[in-house]
Amino acid sequence: MKGKPMTKDAIAARHPRSPEALLSLLHDLQKANPENFLMPDDLALAASHAGLPLAAVRDAVTFYSMFSLRPRGRHIIRLCESPNCHLAGAWSALDELRGSLGVDVGETTSDGAFTLELTSCLGACGVAPVMMVDDEIVGNLNPERVRNTLARYREGR
Amino acid sequence: MNFARAHVLVGVDDEARLAGVQEVLAALREAVADFNLSTEVQVVETGSLGVSGHGVVVAVQPDGVYYAGVTARDARPIAEEHLLKGRPVRRLLLPTTAPAARPADVLTRQKRVVLSNCGVIDPEKIEEYIATGGYEALGKAVTEMTPDAVIDAVKRSGLRGRGGAGFPTGIKWSAVRTAADPERYVVCNADEGEPGTFKDRLILEGDPHKLLEAMAITGYAVGAHVGIIYIRGEYQLSIARTERAIRDAKSLGILGERVFDTDFSFRVEVRPGAGAYVCGEETALLESLEGKRGWPRIKPPYPVTCGLWAKPTVVNNVETLANVPDIVRLGPAWYRTLGTPTCPGTKVYTILGNIRYPGLVEVEMGTPLRVLVHELGGGLLPGRTLKGILVGGAAGAFLAPTELDVRLDFDSLAERAAVLGSGAVLVMDESACMVDMLSSVLRFFRHESCGQCAPCRSGTDVLVRLIANLQTATADRRTLDQMVQIVDAMRAASLCPLGQSVALPVRTAFAAFRDEFTTHLAEHRCPQCQTTARAHGLLA
């Protein structure tokens, strides 16, 4: 998001005060954090806004793979490991990601730029093997394409 | 409104974005303007054109010409040669390497009901949807039909749920209609996560108004005033297009208070998921909508009596709902002319894997698997032979090439102990190792098991370890029998279909490819399995 960052209260105000809004609100709070994770005060805010106990919010947050309670990189890389991408050679892309980033799955690069994750099917199987970098689908992966994509994000798109 | 003599349809989906579709669009519009064609030719952004693996795909209608791998540089030749002079640019034509299955056929020999507008209209313009007869069915329902008449039409059409279970939609609706509680909900399950499936995404991206129209009809039929679309969190473009469609429909008075000036009011909201396959199970989805972790509920009670906030709730898949407007508009008798007597209508499939034309197709129920693989999918790549097909997604069945004549509908597949599932058809040639493919399926289930019930939580974990032993040459002779025992126990004792369905890929893989599994026990020299084992840190 460009421009002046919204306050957390302003983010919350865009959502109805109901448990139904919990996941949307958590998505927005996490997106507003440059380190891509939910902080304790985010959970407290979400709990009071949605009218849920804090424990219930923690319970939900720890269930869904898109949320993190630990700091992550500015960019989240999610490589699909489901059967179709597996068949199409996702592992050579994983080797390249590990090599280029110097981290293993679940880790963040030391400069805080990228976190590497594996994911189930992203529904972009027509261009397998596929990864998502933040909200962008990057498909037809091969080592070169992985390197170019990382370079593009390192340069700030 | 101007009537253009030609439409240049540019498929905008994730693959096309990747290939620079925005530049192509800009260049096409510029070229059309440069040749003074702006009043005659309209460049339209639309959803996927149904062809994958060819970058930016552009169709020129009514000529029926498809261009593939189009770049911004190709815009001028297309405008000058084709649009101005009427000569298609041969070098850009979608490749027709298979004489028996030309891509034109891939697109024209389908029967498109659900996808009728996908890749044809601009999904961000409600006027285009209306121009194709859109929202006519909703108008007809709320002004000319009673709710019971709508339900009766859906019942008589024989429509069955496309989420995998094949439950008759009309019966589900009628259970909600007759429920005692007047507060009811319509929920659309757009938490598409079955591996190899992206049909719902393309419907949402390519024709979101069709879904909104269907939800409003459903709401009218069952007596609900709120519809909620639960879209998986990763589907950003689907979420954006659907939200926009809701705003546009509201501003025209089609959704919201007093639909078509009647007493019926209906609003629709979008809720994103947050990454959990199990939320595609309807009761887990409802839990998630209530702001909780997506743990499936114990059934009964079923959502039709005790759904969202314990209120009667219709939960229908995107594809199921996308059939509804045409059923109402054209009638159940028309619908029954498609498909088989027990499974009327069409089905959308994603054809993937080692296949010439991967992509999305819609054909009548009961179409033989062979037609999908060898005709619409264009067959295998040159010089390759078919080894197996995984039909229905990870929770589907591995079929041997001898099964190619099976008809694809709920009942024909059930006879073979297989399932239609989500409609994913993953084709594998002789280069694929079936042990390795099953290991990928099992890892998927381990990752997505929600952890609520022990059979699934522990069962998926043990299965992954056992198949890893096969892949790393550390399995003993009892391994395959142990795996069968585990999946059978999971089928009997798991709380929800996730754990219950693991038996299907395991048992069918063992049945169709027994030799390959026993070879892995005895010989242990499979390069693919070793690659996979290394990727997971099981081998140095």
Instruction: Residue B187: list chain A partners with CB under 8 A.
Output: none
- Provide the 8-state DSSP code for B490: H
**Dihedral sign, Cα of residue B314, residue B317, residue B318, residue B322:** negative
CATH number assigned to the domain with residue range A75-154, chosen from the 4 options 3.40.30.10, 1.10.10.10, 1.10.10.60, 3.30.499.10 = 3.40.30.10
Instruction: Residue A124: list chain B partners with CB under 8 A.
Output: 14-15, 198
- Strand-strand pairing, B185-190 and B313-317: parallel
Check: CB of residue B181 under 8 Å from CB of residue B312: yes
Backbone angle region of B36, left / alpha / beta, with phi > 0 → left and psi within -120 to 50 → alpha: left
Convert B242-262 to b/e letters by CB count within 10 Å (16 or more is b): bbebbebbeeeebbeeebeee
- Measured between CA atoms, how close is B216 to chain A, in angstroms? 20
A126/B201 CB distance under 8 A: no
> Confidence band (pLDDT; 50, 70, 90) for B38?
confident
CA distance A79 to A119: 6
Match 């709902």 to its residue by tokens: B321
> Confidence band (pLDDT; 50, 70, 90) for A156?
confident
CA distance A137 to B534: 26
Instruction: Residue B288: list chain A partners with CB under 8 A.
Output: 23
Predicted pLDDT at B107: 60
Give per-residue pLDDT as tens, B62-114: 777 889 899 999 999 999 999 988 888 988 888 754 333 345 555 667 888 99
Question: How many contacts, defined by CB atoms under 8 Å, are there between A and B?
Answer: 159
| Domain positions in chain B | 6-95, 126-336, 346-429, 434-535
Mean pLDDT over each residue of chain B, to the nearest integer: 92
B436/A86 CB distance under 8 A: yes
- Strand-strand pairing, B58-61 and B6-11: antiparallel
Give per-residue pLDDT as tens, B159-176: 999 988 899 999 999 999
Helix B208-222 × helix B169-177 angle, to 10°: 50
A64/B394 CB distance under 8 A: no
- Section B53-66 average pLDDT: 83
| Domain positions in chain A | 8-61, 75-154
CA distance B493 to B502: 12
- Measured between CA atoms, how close is B429 to chain A, in angstroms? 10
Give per-residue pLDDT as tens, A83-100: 999 999 999 999 999 999
* Class at the top of the CATH hierarchy for domain B434-535: mainly alpha
Which ranges of B119-198 does DSSP label H, i.e. alpha helix? Answer: 126-131, 136-144, 147-157, 169-177
Instruction: Locate the chain B residue with the closest alpha carbon to A137.
Output: B14
- Section A130-146 average pLDDT: 91
pLDDT at B523 over 80: no
Tell me the residue ranges of DSSP E strands in B133-266: 185-190, 226-231
Among candidates A65, A87, A127 on the partner chain, residue whose Cβ is nearest the Cβ of B432: A87
**Token pair for residue B350?**
């994603």
pLDDT at B503 over 80: yes
**Token pair for residue B497?**
């279909």
Query: Environment class of residue A36 by beta-carbon count within 10 Å: exposed (0-12), middle (13-18) or buried (19+)?
Result: buried
**Token pair for residue B223?**
């007596």
* Class at the top of the CATH hierarchy for domain B6-95: alpha beta
B440/A95 CB distance under 8 A: no
Check: CB of residue B355 under 8 Å from CB of residue B380: yes
B80: number of Cβ within 10 Å: 16
- Measured between CA atoms, how close is A65 to chain B, in angstroms? 5
CA distance A56 to A23: 12
CA distance B52 to B382: 18
Check: CB of residue B348 under 8 Å from CB of residue B362: yes
pLDDT at B178 over 90: yes
CATH topology of domain B346-429: Ubiquitin-like (UB roll) (3.10.20)
Considering only A65-74, B15-24, B225-234, which range has the smallest mean pLDDT?
A: B15-24
> Confidence band (pLDDT; 50, 70, 90) for B3?
low
A124/B53 CB distance under 8 A: no
Instruction: Residue B425: list chain A partners with CB under 8 A.
Output: none
Q: What share of chain A is helix, strand, coil (3-state, %, to 5)?
A: 45, 10, 45
Give per-residue pLDDT as tens, B252-271: 999 999 999 999 999 999 99
B18/A138 CB distance under 8 A: yes
Considering only B118-122, B225-229, B461-465, which range has the smallest mean pLDDT?
A: B118-122
pLDDT at B129 over 50: yes
Among candidates B18, B290, B352 on the partner chain, residue whose Cβ is nearest the Cβ of A125: B352
Predicted pLDDT at A5: 77
Among candidates B18, B275, B441 on the partner chain, residue whose Cβ is nearest the Cβ of A65: B275
Instruction: Residue A157: list chain B partners with CB under 8 A.
Output: none
A84/B195 CB distance under 8 A: yes
Among candidates A65, A122, A123 on the partner chain, residue whose Cβ is nearest the Cβ of B276: A65
Give per-residue pLDDT as tens, B287-333: 999 999 999 999 999 999 999 999 999 999 999 999 999 999 999 99
Instruction: Locate the chain A residue with the closest alpha carbon to B431.
Output: A87
Instruction: Residue B432: list chain A partners with CB under 8 A.
Output: 87
**Higher model confidence: residue B193 or residue B119?**
B193
Predicted pLDDT at A118: 95
Predicted pLDDT at B108: 64
Instruction: Locate the chain A residue with the closest alpha carbon to B394.
Output: A83
B292/A132 CB distance under 8 A: no
Give per-residue pLDDT as tens, B354-368: 998 888 899 999 999
**Token pair for residue B331?**
């009638």
Among candidates A24, A127, A136 on the partner chain, residue whose Cβ is nearest the Cβ of B15: A127
* Class at the top of the CATH hierarchy for domain B126-336: alpha beta
Instruction: Residue A82: list chain B partners with CB under 8 A.
Output: 195-196, 394, 440, 444
